[in-house]
Structure 1
């Protein structure tokens, strides 16, 4: 009995040989089917891990955190004709086709021209922001926190001495109030 099994995982097809050992089509050392499947799964797991590294971006998943969910726009989201006014069917079909084609192709043209420069500018901007945050902002905040520790102690004392007893007294006074709504 000769056969193959196709298994699809993440769009990638894997062929597994399901031939019996007595088929006469020996390729040398024949392993049992389960061992071959485990080997294929281990290879696919290694491939999956290698594609998820930080240095190699995922080609299929370009918005894994759904940041640009609002940009999933279709023709029906932009143009919709009510029942009272309608254009001809051919006009509607051509409008839909031209909308989709122009949206896709102009995006491709613009990204071809501007994606690399904008990426460089964004990388420089985020590097500058990280530098400012790490080397200026965080040390300044730490200096302020160190030098105003006494102010924090004073403020917590004021809250504990004046504000907390006042709020507790108001809470005890209001505890006895109950509101009952009846319908007449």
Structure 2
């Protein structure tokens, strides 16, 4: 065997002590169970859309208004229109969020809490009951299929085996 297939593995005895210390530490609680601090990612102001959910809302002046090559308005009209658009967009958004952000976030929080409660206490127990009843439902369904549906489908298939379709252009 040539040396190109050999892999060098470094083994240090000092690393074992560090690994044991890391294993003895308790992990932090999951994010949904931890209390957010002002320094956590929930309250960070730099990245408010870390997963890029609202990429389609990044609208600029040139995305909405554009002049073709031949007719142009005055340069100052174009510049002031862009300033007016950006100012109206930013300040309208700020005013609307000032009025609606807290109530909508409270309603959204209540909605998601209601959905979580419904899922935990209603949907999942019904799914578990269905899974426990599934074996006898499956055997009943197989019996119905084998007694009624399968013979009917076989009869229709035998009737259709003698049918030939030919296509011709006239």
TM-score, scaled to structure 1: 0.53
Structure 1 partner of 2:39: 51
**SS of the counterpart of 2:102?**
helix
Aligned to 1:62: 48
Flag structure 1 segments of 5+ consecutive residues without an equivalent. 1-48, 163-184
Deviations 1:4-34 (A, max 9, x none): xxxxxxxxxxxxxxxxxxxxxxxxxxxxxxx
Task: Give the alignment partner of residue 89 of structure 1, picking from 62, 75, 88.
Answer: 75
5+ long unaligned stretches in structure 2 = 1-36, 151-170
Aligned-CA RMSD value: 2.5
CA distance in 2, matches of 1:78, 1:94: 15
- In 2, the alpha carbon distance for the partners of 1:155 and 1:58 equals 55
Q: Any residues of structure 2 matched to 1:17-166 within 5 Å, and which? A: 51-52=39-40, 56-152=42-138
CA drift of 1:154 comes to: 7.4
* Larger RCO, structure (CA 8 Å, separation 6 or more): 2
C-alpha distance in 2, partners of 1:50/1:118? 21
